Structure 1
Amino acid sequence: MRGAVNLADVRELARRRLPRAVFDMVDGGADDELTLTRNETAFRELLLSPRTMADAGPVDPSTEVLGQRVSMPVLLAPTGGGRVAHRRAELAVAAAARAHGTVYVQSTVTGFPLEEVARAGGGGLWYQLYAPAARAEIPAMLERVAAAGYRVLVLTVDTPVFGGRERDRRNGFSLPVRPHPRMLLQGASRPAWAVDFLRGNLPTRRGGRLSAWATQRQILAAPRPVTWADLAHVRDLWSGPLVVKGVLRPQEVPRLLDAGADALVVSNHGGRQLDGVPATIEALPAVVAAVGGRAEVYLDGGVRRGTDVLKALALGARAVLVGRPYLYGLAAGGQAGVERVLELLHAEFVRALALTGCRTPADVEAGLVLPAR
């Protein structure tokens, strides 16, 4: 992993280690993957306009998100199915986030009990909620989340049904993972992965493993649209900061803020839901304008370089979330792989700040970004 000099290298290491079906699950998007591709290409179409003769001095890339200090404006997004990439999955990601002083947003879809992940993260983690089909279960879920020490709740609102993951259908792949002949054949060509997968995915009652798998099955089997009434219900139950994830339309922003959202995540679910929607960096400015300073705005999707982080901040984001990059790192090297991804983004972001004449993220302004001509 130390030989990886950018995220493309980490992705290639993951591709070599994982069976094709598993890599496609991590790497793929919905339908023709237009949005998946656009999330990245839209960043490349933005140019940087650095300040000249600006003495940036010592660069401090740290910032605050909802009152929590982080080492840089890069958070680890909620992702499901991490155990197919590495047996320690969420435990490794939470520990890596803790080591690098940033936020990990733990997903409802998990292979480990949320309390165990919270301990690995050492406090300061956020929790992402997929509202269960049986809404009556929400109060008990949120009590458990709060008791475990999660300080921020992230409500995902863009999964009324699951998107058309055509790579997964071609491969016969689904979550929770059910081994089938093609996967077993592919796994035989990746013996290190196969051993890791078998060690981490054999059902056991120890440590609440079966309850975690049961939660996965429930959420994945019965997605249900999140309504305004659901948002109001969650807001009434949750006393801490509340983030709404999956926002693309500025028209809905005022109502979301009036309903009690403390922050919004501009997200198209990494191009894994509705194909053909705008890239998140394209949708970001209008959402920021609609927020009008009433809440923090984050961006999720397409970030592959430290310069992408700077571009998102210049267009109004407080921070960005990354998902696939750290899953690649997890697959390639477990916790050390996730840490390597954070190291790469940190170094690139610090360099981008210095080269554009910024000492801190607060110095990043809209004039640093130009559309490509």
Structure 2
Amino acid sequence: MQFKKPELNGTRRRLKAALTIEDLRTIAKRRTPKAAFDYTEGAAEGEISLARARQAFEDVEFNPSILRDVSDVDTTREVFGGPSALPFGIAPTGFTRLMQTEGETAGASAAGAAGIPFSLSTLGTTSIEDVKKANPNGRNFFQLYVMRDREVSYDLTRRAAAAGFDTLMFTVDTPVAGARLRDTRNGFSIPPQLTMKTIANAIPRPWWWYDFLTTPPLEFASLSSTGGTVGELLNDAMDPSINFEDLKIIRELFPGKLVVKGVQTVADAKKLADLGVDGIVLSNHGGRQLDRAPVPFRMLPEVVREVGDDLEITLDTGIMNGADIVSSIAMGANFTFVGRAYLYGLMAGGRPGVDRMIEILTDQIVRTMKLLEVSSLEELEPKHVTQLSRLVPLSTS
């Protein structure tokens, strides 16, 4: 017998003990003020869409092969014209430095080190140029909202191209802000407002407030407006008149891959394929816009059947385990994106927390592939997954 050597660094000790994304979530909740944590955790209205998305992944039954050599497995993937060491990238997230002050810099640098894409949101708190500095040799994507002031969107598109971002995610599911009730109840705003309630919540989390008060002020890197609730900011900035003509203009401005994010019907996927976009992200915005929206993972098989030969199909929403990613690839997705999992890691430990998130998902992907007895992502097929169904549409005939 021998005594285990103690880990004196608290962050390293906590992260090493985290074995799942749920473990990172638990650490994040303990270390982050309620309003900031709930902004990440929450979804729209009754949060039904998010719950259904996670349940859909849990309702997967795997069908493993046997007697195959899986001494080594290949997790690499080609997506939107470039390589990725793993079949997932980091999704665009807004207000990221509010969750933890390293923000997008931690996410971009961790993604670059892991060889996976990083996506910057229009509502990000680090500039396009600074993300490029944090991830100079890796792949950077830019997620674009179409603003009421179109020139703002056009300028962001040009800046992303000039900085070498190779893919633009044209987001179509946010004509107005969803009703994110946790944020309203918490009085969540940018910049954060101090009340007796927030001060009381801050007392057990002095490290978060120390970081927040001693680092550069929180502000949007791409927007000039910073005052108000999340819903007010979104509604002031977004334009409900967004249409296909806007997509055409952005296509002309951006020389890289154009991907439409927020596709929620097969009919729209087919129309976009006909228009010649490079790819789509099946997404209901993490359940944060229209509650009771379609679950991307459940939509995936039909979308693949209809347009899988014409464009690259990716998805997000609800991914909490590497097995969820393997299931998506098996059902025909080219690639996946993680948002909350990334933010849980960031809140749990800054850049090391994001590294740990990637490690956890990587270990789960590799282990799931080996237990399914497939040695590459290309070997994954629908036969490896059974989607068990709790919600079956009623016939209208």
**Which interval holds the TM-score relative to the shorter structure?**
over 0.9
Tell me the amino acid that sits aligned with residue 178 of structure 2.
G
Q: Are 2:33 and 2:201, in contact at CA under 8 Å, matched by a contact in 1?
A: yes
Percent of residue pairs identical: 38
Could you tell me which residue of structure 2 aligns to residue 331 of structure 1?
347
Could you tell me which residue of structure 2 aligns to residue 172 of structure 1?
187
Counterparts of 1:84 and 1:219, CA distance in 2? 17
Tell me the amino acid that sits aligned with residue 103 of structure 1.
P
Which piece of structure 1 moves more, 241-250 or 192-201? 192-201
Could you tell me which residue of structure 1 aligns to residue 169 of structure 2?
154
Structure 2 unpaired stretches of 5+: 1-14, 228-232, 390-397
Could you tell me which residue of structure 2 aligns to residue 114 of structure 1?
128
Could you tell me which residue of structure 1 aligns to residue 114 of structure 2?
100
Shift of 1:139: 3.0
**Alignment partner of 1:20 is 2:20:** no
Q: Are 1:130 and 1:219, in contact at CA under 8 Å, matched by a contact in 2?
A: no
Matches within 5 A, 1:151-230: 151-200=166-215, 202=217, 212=222, 214=224, 221-225=236-240, 226-230=242-246
Matches within 5 A, 1:22-171: 22-123=36-137, 124-171=139-186
Counterparts of 1:32 and 1:348, CA distance in 2? 30
Matches within 5 A, 1:256-271: 256-271=272-287
Tell me the amino acid that sits aligned with residue 241 of structure 1.
K
CA distances 1:239-293 after superposition (whole Å, capped 9, x unpaired): 1100100011001122212323101000000011111122211111222222131
Shift of 1:14: 0.1
CA distances 1:198-229 after superposition (whole Å, capped 9, x unpaired): 123536xxxxx675452666756322133111
Q: Secondary structure of the equivalent of 1:214?
A: coil
Could you tell me which residue of structure 2 aligns to residue 303 of structure 1?
319
Which piece of structure 1 moves more, 348-357 or 134-143? 134-143
Number of equivalent positions:
368
Tell me the amino acid that sits aligned with residue 94 of structure 1.
A
Counterparts of 2:180 and 2:76, CA distance in 1? 36
Could you tell me which residue of structure 1 aligns to residue 385 of structure 2?
369
CA distances 1:7-54 after superposition (whole Å, capped 9, x unpaired): 110000000001112111110011111111111111111100001222
Q: Are 1:248 and 1:287, in contact at CA under 8 Å, matched by a contact in 2?
A: no
C-alpha change, 1:298 and 1:106, in structure 2 (3 Å) is: same
Counterparts of 1:137 and 1:5, CA distance in 2? 42
Counterparts of 1:261 and 1:255, CA distance in 2? 10
Could you tell me which residue of structure 2 aligns to residue 346 of structure 1?
362
CA distances 1:168-205 after superposition (whole Å, capped 9, x unpaired): 111111345344443233122210111111123536xx
Q: Are 1:176 and 1:213, in contact at CA under 8 Å, matched by a contact in 2?
A: no
Q: Are 1:280 and 1:299, in contact at CA under 8 Å, matched by a contact in 2?
A: yes
- CA RMSD of superposed structures (Å): 1.7
Q: Secondary structure of the equivalent of 1:278?
A: coil
Q: Are 1:111 and 1:213, in contact at CA under 8 Å, matched by a contact in 2?
A: no
Q: Are 1:89 and 1:111, in contact at CA under 8 Å, matched by a contact in 2?
A: yes
Tell me the amino acid that sits aligned with residue 132 of structure 2.
A
Tell me the amino acid that sits aligned with residue 173 of structure 1.
F
Shift of 1:136: 3.1
Q: Are 1:266 and 1:299, in contact at CA under 8 Å, matched by a contact in 2?
A: yes
Counterparts of 1:228 and 1:322, CA distance in 2? 27
C-alpha change, 1:24 and 1:219, in structure 2 (3 Å) is: closer
Give the greater-gyration-radius structure (CA): 2
Q: Are 2:176 and 2:234, in contact at CA under 8 Å, matched by a contact in 1?
A: no
Could you tell me which residue of structure 2 aligns to residue 254 of structure 1?
270
C-alpha change, 1:59 and 1:270, in structure 2 (3 Å) is: same
Structure 1 unpaired stretches of 5+: 204-208
C-alpha change, 1:138 and 1:168, in structure 2 (3 Å) is: closer
Tell me the amino acid that sits aligned with residue 308 of structure 1.
D
Q: Are 2:43 and 2:288, in contact at CA under 8 Å, matched by a contact in 1?
A: yes
Q: Are 1:109 and 1:219, in contact at CA under 8 Å, matched by a contact in 2?
A: no
Could you tell me which residue of structure 2 aligns to residue 280 of structure 1?
296
Tell me the amino acid that sits aligned with residue 122 of structure 2.
T
Q: Are 2:104 and 2:124, in contact at CA under 8 Å, matched by a contact in 1?
A: yes
Counterparts of 1:25 and 1:138, CA distance in 2? 25
Counterparts of 1:126 and 1:195, CA distance in 2? 31
Match of 2:247 among 218, 231, 246: 231
